[in-house]
Structure 1
Amino acid sequence: MRVKRYSPRTEKTYCYWIRFFIRYHGVRHPASMGPSEVQAFLEHLAVERYVAAATQNQALNALVFLYRHILDMPLGDIGTFSRAKRPRRLPVVLSHEEVMRVLNQLSGPMYLMATLMYGSGLRLIETCRLRVRDIDTERLIITVRAGKGDKDRTTLLPAVCLPALEAQIESAEQQLAYRIARGRVPVTLPHALDRKYPNAGISLGWQWLFPASRPCCDDAGNVVLHHIHSSAVQKAVKQAMKSASLPRPGSCHTLRHSFATQLLSQGTGIRTVQELLGHKSIETTQIYTHVIGKEFAGVRSPLG
Structure 2
Amino acid sequence: MMERVAILGTGLLGTSVGLALRAAGFKGSIVGWNRSRSQAETALSMGAIDSIGHDAIETAKASQVVLLAIPIFATLDLMEQLAPILGPDHLLTDVGSTKGQITEAAGRLFNTPGRAAFLPGHPMAGKERGGAEMADANLFHGAVWLFSDNPAWKRSPQSAALASSWREWVVRMGARTNDLGPQRHDELVAWVSHLPQFTATALSALLENEVGEAPELRDVGGRALREMTRLGASPWSMWRDIAHTNTDAIAAALEALEQRLAHIRENLRTPELRDEFEKANRFRRE
The TM tier, using the shorter chain, reads under 0.3
Provide the TM-score with structure 2 as the length reference. Answer: 0.25
Tell which structure's C-alpha radius of gyration is larger.
1
Q: TM-score, normalised by structure 1?
A: 0.24
Q: Greater strand percent: which structure?
A: 2
